[in-house]
Amino acid sequence: MTSAPHPACPSGPGAYVVAIAIAAPLAIRLGAAASPLLRPGRYLYCGSAYGPGGLPARLGRHFRKDKAIRWHVDQLTTAGEVLGAWAIAGGDECELVARLGFLPVPIEGFGATDCAHCRSHLLRWPSRVAARTVRAALAGDDAAPVWLRGDSTPRSRA
C-alpha cells in the first residue's frame, strides 16, 4: 500500500485498526508533556477516514514511511513496522476502541485528543491475544472487517 490503494480496501469512508510492531523502546511526543516511553511489542491504533479519499487514502498514508509527522500515530508508523490494518466500511473509531476494550491502554490520550469518550485510541496487542480474537471483536452486526497486509499482499485470514 505504498503507492496505490490496496485492491481489497473498501473505497469509501470508514474506520480502521492499524497493527504496528515496535522493535525498540520509542519515546512518544505528546505536545508539551513529558515523552512517555513505548516498550517494544505490538500495538493497535484505531482511527477513522471520513475525509477526502476515504479509507484508501488514509490507510495508504499510514502504510508509508516517508511522510511528515502530523498525528500521534505517525511516530509509530515511521519508526515501527506496519503489519497491516483491518478496514471497516462506515465504521466508527470509538466503537472499535470499545470493542477492543479488553486490551491494555499503553498511553492515555494517544490519538484521542479530540475524543471525549475514549481513554486512548492506541492499545497494546499482547502476544497471547490471537489475531482471530481481535478480528472477532471488531466484527459487529455490520460488515466484517477486511484485513489489508502491510506488504500489499492480500491474505484471507487475519
**Mind listing the pLDDT tens digit for each residue in 46-73?**
999 999 999 999 999 999 999 999 988 9
* Core vs surface per residue 108-140: b (16+ CB within 10 A) or e: ebbbbeeeeebebbbbbbeeebebeebbebbee
Give the helix/strand (H/E) hosting 79.
helix 72-79
Residue type, 100: L
Write out the residue range of the structural domain in which residue 58 sits: 14-149
pLDDT band at 156 (very low <50, low <70, confident <90, very high): very low
| Beta-carbon count within 10 A of 74 CB | 16
Q: Is residue 7 part of a domain?
A: no
- Looking at the DSSP assignment, which residues form a beta bridge with residue 14? 49, 89
Q: Is residue 91 part of a domain?
A: yes
Cα end-to-end distance, the chain, whole Å: 17
Q: Is residue 93 part of a domain?
A: yes
User: Among all chains, which residue has been given the C-alpha cell 510492531?
Assistant: 21
Number of domains composing the chain? 1
Answer for the pair 49, 62: CB distance below 8 angstroms, yes or no.
no
Answer for the pair 95, 89: CB distance below 8 angstroms, yes or no.
no
Mean local confidence (pLDDT), 121-133: 96
pLDDT per position as a tens digit, 69-111: 998 899 999 999 999 999 999 999 999 999 999 999 999 888 8
- Looking at residue 25, its pLDDT comes to 96
Instruction: Say how far apart CA 16 and CA 85 lie, in whole Å.
Output: 7
pTM over 0.75: yes
Q: Is residue 23 part of a domain?
A: yes
